[in-house]
């Protein structure tokens, strides 16, 4: 590898703002906030909106779509038109 052209790759704590869960990993992202981790060291803190702790795909929590209500709303708005014959 060439010297001096790669960004600094260092330990960073990512914290899910909706659940409060955090994990320590390595990244090139910089942050002005810091947090003291369980090992006693202080690391840069990056707040994220969604992580594997809160994403519906990973948690198994699914949103139920009211598809029948959406179809009725569409028909109310645009009317039920005759199809091609």
**β partners of residue 80:** none
pLDDT in the model for residue 84: 57
pLDDT in the model for residue 75: 83
**What pTM did the predictor assign?**
0.63
Q: Mapping DSSP to helix (H, G, I), strand (E, B) and coil, where does residue 69 land? A: helix
The string of pLDDT tens digits covering residues 5-63 is 999 999 999 999 888 899 999 999 999 999 999 999 999 999 998 887 877 666 666 66
pLDDT in the model for residue 74: 82
Q: Within 13 Å of residue 2, how many CA atoms lie on the same side as its CB? A: 4
pLDDT in the model for residue 85: 53
């Amino acid at each position: 590898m060439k010297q001096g052209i790669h960004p600094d790759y260092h330990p960073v704590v990512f914290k899910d703002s909706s659940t409060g869960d955090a994990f320590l990993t390595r990244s090139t992202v910089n942050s002005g906030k810091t947090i003291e981790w369980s090992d006693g060291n202080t690391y840069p803190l990056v707040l994220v909106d969604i992580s594997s702790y809160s994403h519906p795909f990973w948690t198994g929590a699914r949103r139920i779509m009211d598809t029948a209500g959406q179809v009725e709303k569409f028909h109310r708005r645009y009317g039920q038109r005759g199809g091609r014959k």
